[in-house]
A and B are shown apart, each in its own frame.
Chain A
Amino acid sequence: MPMLNIANDFSKTPAGRSANLHGEHSGETFRDEKLWPMLQQAMKSNSKLTVTLDGTAGYPASFLDEAFGGMIRKGYCNRDQIQEHLEIQAVSPSYEVYRKLVIRYIEEAASCQ
């Protein structure tokens, strides 16, 4: 089962929305360089990608929205595909609030489609 740990595989300080404006730690960079390629692989192999939120300094809302909600808004995939092939994991209770936010942003993006 493919795993993606944001703190280890991307950045311990994720922040910002747009790659142009907000730099290499942004949600857009994470989505296009890490999340979407791995999710594509998981969809091809019909497996489930587990994204672990633990270990970072936090998650600004704009990062989470762009990274996860942005996949639906950009037309990369739909809500059903995400539900089928993506699992958001928060081991520590401190990150549980971010897991709920990710789910909420995916739902909001899907409802706007």
Chain B
Amino acid sequence: MASGVHFGNSFKPGRHRSLNQSLGLTFHREDEHGNQLFLLHHWSDKIGWNFSMRKRSSREVRLLLFRSRKKICHRQRQRKKRQANAEYLQDQQKLKEMQYTETVSKWGLPRKVTLTLGANQIEAAGIPLKPPENFSLEQNSAEVIQFLEKFRTRTYREQRSLAPKSIIGRRKWIDVYIDFTQIKEISTAAALVLAAEFYRARYASRIGAPNSTSRPPGLVDFDQWQSETVQALSQLGFLELLDVNLNARNMLDANDSNRNIQQFMTGNQLNPKDVENLKDGLSKLTTGLETAGGVKFGIYDGLCEAMTNTIDHAYQFPEDLQLPYLQGQWWMTGSVNANGSEIDVVFFDQGVSIPCHLPKTKREYVEKLFRSQAANDAKMIKAAMEERRSSTNESNRGRGLVQIQNLIDHAQAGRLRILSRSGEYIYQKGEGKEGENVRSRTLKGDIGGTLIHWSLNVKSG
């Protein structure tokens, strides 16, 4: 038995990285034929430590070396592959986490909801868009306008659909829904603007708007809505836009409400009959319109002029309208408080706005270069009201806005508020010594068109 290098029990494959050592290969001597003899120690994975000590020919050794190298290379490749795989999986996991974090921060967490579609209630899931608790353009205009901007961004720029989608094997999914359960108070003007937004979202498919759908959005968590919100929106006719069966919830008596809102009217033509109908509806709720005769005529004149302006100017420059629009479309409504002394009349269009279509003087062009658009908007509305300026540049035009303002003069006291793009104009007439008050200011956002809101105080008998 040839003696060779002795490997003790301390030998472990992991500790001896050298090829020769790991093979237990040592040159020993030559035999009688001049062949080199090697002492090879090797081990078997299956058996464990197993030292085989016998002489091998150089050919056999080379073969063993070749196989060993091949095996080592294979193991190294496998190890690298496993490492690469692990790194890839880690990266994928990190990416998923980042995407999830980004999605949640951008859209919010999805929620399980109850969806009312027609007379049916079904389980669904969706991402909520939370409106402010006080959904009033009078008391909380900044938050409401910001919310409306966000809603338009979600719906059109980011193309998130309001209508529920069917996903096979899963519950229905809604890209974005307004969480009406948040709203505790809602004003007539804000409700009308919201209704107009839903109307556009619902009917934008008619004009081929991207991602538009003729399917109704449906109501989410209707049972949890505040009763005042349900009353205001059902009176306005908002729920009909959503194809909701009012029996889906036990409706509260509308007479309990602290105000009565007329069902909104909409159209894309000058329709004085609609104005008459609205006026008649308001007359039934208060005697104030009859006692202040001028108000009755003023409402008709003001609303007809607002409609005329919408048809003539609001959608005149489609290149300035960055969102889908319904040509010439307007919305209007009115409301009366419980004792009939306060009348609100609201008119809205989603056009380019007064500051956009009004021709600018040279000075205003220069100012526009140095001031923000928003700062300019308030100034432009004021100029339109005061200077009888019109986009037609004809001397006999521009009378409409003046007549819109005259309605306030017919009332005992009142306020005209025009929100157009990012500008606000207020004309107020108080009782007694307060007298007239005109002011304009810049809003923290874009209302998405032009809103004309008359608040009138009348004596009801």
Contact with A along B389-406 (1 / 0, CB 8 A): 000000110011011000
In the bound complex, do residue B272 and residue A73 qualify as a contact, i.e. CB atoms below 8 Å apart? no
- Flag whether A62 is at the interface (Cβ < 8 A): yes
- Flag whether B301 is at the interface (Cβ < 8 A): yes
Q: Tell me the bound Cα distance from A112 to B394 in angstroms.
A: 11
Interface of chain A residues 67 through 81 with chain B (CB within 8 A): 69, 73
Q: Which of A2-10, A21-29, A31-39, A43-51 contacts B (4 or more CB under 8 A)?
A: A21-29
Please judge, given known A-B contacts A22-B270, A94-B294, whether A60 and B308 are in contact too, CB under 8 Å: yes
Interface of chain B residues 206 through 220 with chain A (CB within 8 A): none
Contact of B308 among A11, A13, A17, A59 (CB under 8 A): A17
Interchain Cβ contacts under 8 Å between A and B, 22 examples: A13-B275, A13-B276, A17-B312, A21-B270, A21-B311, A21-B312, A22-B311, A23-B270, A57-B297, A57-B300, A58-B297, A58-B301, A58-B304, A60-B305, A60-B403, A65-B396, A65-B399, A69-B396, A73-B396, A94-B294, A97-B294, A108-B396
Please judge, given known A-B contacts A13-B276, A22-B270, whether A61 and B301 are in contact too, CB under 8 Å: yes
In the bound complex, do residue B270 and residue A16 qualify as a contact, i.e. CB atoms below 8 Å apart? yes
Q: Which residue of B lies closest to A69 (CB)?
A: B396
Which of B272, B276, B301, B395 has the most chain A CB atoms closer than 10 A to its own CB? B272
In the bound complex, do residue B272 and residue A14 qualify as a contact, i.e. CB atoms below 8 Å apart? yes
Q: How large is the interface on A (under 10, 10 to 19, 20 to 34, 35 or more residues)?
A: 20 to 34
Q: Give A residues with C-beta under 8 Å from B.
A: 11, 13-17, 21-23, 25-26, 57-63, 65, 69, 73, 94, 97, 105, 108-109, 112
Provide the residues of chain A in CB contact with B93, threshold 8 Å: none
Provide the residues of chain B in CB contact with A58, threshold 8 Å: 296-298, 300-301, 304
Q: Which residue of B lies closest to A62 (CB)?
A: B308
Q: Closest CB of chain A to B393's CB: distance in Å?
A: 13
Q: Which residue of A lies closest to B302 (CB)?
A: A60
Q: Tell me the bound Cα distance from A21 to B307 in angstroms.
A: 11
Q: Closest CB of chain B to A57's CB: distance in Å?
A: 5
In the bound complex, do residue B269 and residue A23 qualify as a contact, i.e. CB atoms below 8 Å apart? yes
- Flag whether B421 is at the interface (Cβ < 8 A): no
Q: Closest CB of chain B to A19's CB: distance in Å?
A: 11
Q: Is the interface of B mostly helix, strand, loop or mixed?
A: helix
Provide the residues of chain B in CB contact with A97, threshold 8 Å: 294, 297
Q: Closest CB of chain A to B409's CB: distance in Å?
A: 10
Contact with A along B285-318 (1 / 0, CB 8 A): 0000000011011101100110110011000000
Q: Tell me the bound Cα distance from A28 to B393 in angstroms.
A: 19
Provide the residues of chain A in CB contact with B399, threshold 8 Å: 61-62, 65
- Flag whether B279 is at the interface (Cβ < 8 A): yes
Provide the residues of chain B in CB contact with A73, threshold 8 Å: 396
Q: Which residue of B lies closest to A94 (CB)?
A: B293
Q: Closest CB of chain B to A103's CB: distance in Å?
A: 15
- Flag whether B273 is at the interface (Cβ < 8 A): yes
Provide the residues of chain A in CB contact with B296, threshold 8 Å: 58
Q: Which residue of B lies closest to A21 (CB)?
A: B311
Contact of A13 among B273, B305, B395, B402 (CB under 8 A): B273
Q: Name 18 extra pairs, CB < 8 A, besides A22-B308, A57-B300, A62-B308.
A: A13-B273, A14-B272, A15-B308, A16-B304, A17-B312, A22-B269, A25-B272, A26-B270, A57-B275, A57-B276, A57-B279, A57-B297, A58-B301, A94-B293, A94-B297, A105-B396, A108-B396, A112-B395
Provide the residues of chain B in CB contact with A59, threshold 8 Å: 297, 301
Q: Tell me the bound Cα distance from A105 to B311 in angstroms.
A: 23
Q: Closest CB of chain B to A113's CB: distance in Å?
A: 11
Q: Tell me the bound Cα distance from A1 to B322 in angstroms.
A: 57
Q: Tell me the bound Cα distance from A63 to B275 in angstroms.
A: 15
Q: Which residue of B lies closest to A17 (CB)?
A: B308
Which of B273, B293, B399 has the most chain A CB atoms closer than 10 A to its own CB? B399
Contact of A62 among B269, B297, B298, B305 (CB under 8 A): B305
Provide the residues of chain B in CB contact with A94, threshold 8 Å: 293-294, 297
Q: Tell me the bound Cα distance from A109 to B269 in angstroms.
A: 27
Provide the residues of chain B in CB contact with A25, threshold 8 Å: 270, 272
